[in-house]
Amino acid sequence: MIDSGNTAFMIICSALVLFMTFGLAFFYGGLVRRKNVINTMMMSVSVIGIAVVMWVAFGYSLSFGQDSFGIIGTLDHIGFMGVEFSVSDYAPTIPHAVFAAFQMMFAIITPAIITGAVVGRMRFKAVIAFIVLWSLLVYYPMAHMVWGEGGLILNMGAVDFAGGDVVHISSGVSALVLSIMLKKRHAYGAANYRIHNVPFVVLGAGMLFFGWFGFNAGSAYAANQLAAQAMMTTAASAGAAMLSWMVLDHIFTGKTTLIGAATGLVVGLVAITPGAGFVPVWASLIIGALGSPVCFFMISIVKHKFGYDDALDAFGCHGVGGIYGGLVTGIFAQKAINGVARWDGLLYGDYHLFLVQVLAILLTIAIAVVGTVICAKLVSIFIPLRVSVYEEKIGMDKSEHNETAYPSFNGLD
Tens digits of residue pLDDT in 136-184 = 999 999 999 999 999 999 999 999 999 999 999 999 999 999 999 999 9
pLDDT tens digits, 355-395: 999 999 999 999 999 999 999 999 999 999 999 999 999 99
pLDDT given for residue 188 in this prediction: 82
The predicted-structure confidence for 309-339, as pLDDT tens digits, reads as follows 999 999 999 999 999 999 999 999 999 999 9
pLDDT for 390: 95
| pLDDT for res 186 | 87
**Distance (Å, whole) CA 355 – CA 357:** 5
Residue 56 banded pLDDT, cuts 50, 70, 90: very high
pLDDT digits (tens, 9 = 90+) for 172-194: 999 999 999 999 998 787 667 77
Interval 252-293: pLDDT, tens: 999 999 999 999 999 999 999 999 999 999 999 999 999 999
- pLDDT for 357 equals 98
pLDDT band of 413, cuts 50, 70, 90:
low
pTM for the predicted model, two decimal places: 0.96
Looking at domain 4-395, its CATH architecture is Orthogonal Bundle (1.10)
